[in-house]
Copies of this chain bind each other. A is one copy, B any other.
Amino acid sequence: MTDTSELVAQLADRVQLLEDKLAIMHIISAYGPAVDSGSAEAVAGLWTEDGVYDVDTGSMSGRAEIESMVRSSNHQSYIHGGCAHLVGPPHIAIDGDTAVATCHSQLVLRDTETGVNRVARITANRWEFARRNGEWKVTLRTNRLLDGRADARDILASGVTATV
C-alpha cells in the first residue's frame, strides 16, 4: 500500500472506535428517557433478545421480562407520580465486539402527597455490551445499591481498575 492508503486505513479504525464509544453513550442515554416515559419496547430494545437486567431485588431475563417491569403497577405508579431515573456519564472500555460501561444512577421520586422529591436510590451500574449484526446491544446490566454493600463497590472498582 502507499503511505496514504495505509494512513487512511488507520484513520478508519480510529473513527470506528470513536463511533463505537458514541454508540454506547447513545444506548445508555436512552434508558432514562425510555423508562421514565413508560416506553416499554424502547427500553427492552436496548438489550439483546436474551439480555439480562440484574438488579438487587432480582434479575430480568429477555426483553419480555424487561417490558413487564416497565408495565408493572409499581413502575407505572412511579412515572404517574413523578420520577427521574438519572444515569450518569459512563466510563467506557471497548474490546473489539464487546464493551463494558460503568457509571452511577440515581432514582428521584416525587411524593405525590407532599410534592417533595427525594433521592430514593443511588446505584452502581455495570453495563456489558456486544455488537450483534453491526449494532451494539446490552447483554447484561448489573445494578447494585450504594448503601454500603460490598458488591456495589466491586462493580465500580472493576470498571476503573482494569482501564486506568
Interface residue ranges, A against B (CB under 8 Å): 2-5, 7-8, 11-12, 14-15, 18-19, 21-22, 25-26, 28-30, 32-34, 36-39, 42, 45-46, 79-84, 86-92, 102-104, 106, 108, 110, 112, 115-122, 124, 145-148, 153-157, 159-161, 163-164
Contacts and interface: CB of A to CB of B under 8 A. Distances in A.
A164 B45 contact: yes
Chain copies in the assembled complex: 3
Nearest to A85: B104
A112 B148 CA distance: 9
20 contacts: A11-B11, A26-B91, A29-B88, A29-B91, A30-B163, A33-B157, A34-B161, A34-B164, A37-B156, A37-B160, A38-B157, A42-B164, A82-B145, A83-B146, A86-B106, A87-B89, A88-B89, A89-B90, A117-B120, A117-B121
